[in-house]
Structure 1
């Protein structure tokens, strides 16, 4: 597909599909942002909660 897959999605057979578990994490992040109205406060809260992040592993080719 050419680039990293965003949190909330995965690729199967060259098709972008919703990953429901990750999608719920994204929805939670958006709800908290709306409640806090601050990216900095959101980042601090997510860091304190050890929220998951999607890790991209790239080849060095």
Structure 2
């Protein structure tokens, strides 16, 4: 089985110097159990070059 690695790229400046930040919250959705027992994280990214932040 091959593994695929994907690099996050800053949408503002195109930099690959990106830092992931996790934010946890409770979500009420139909497929909640399939996601992660009702708790999922929002993986937020921040660019170290231009300081842009996105989800």
Length-normalised TM-score, structure 1: 0.22
Report the TM-score when normalising by structure 2. Answer: 0.23
Bigger fraction of residues in strand: 2
Between Structure 1 and Structure 2, which shows a larger proportion of helix residues? 1
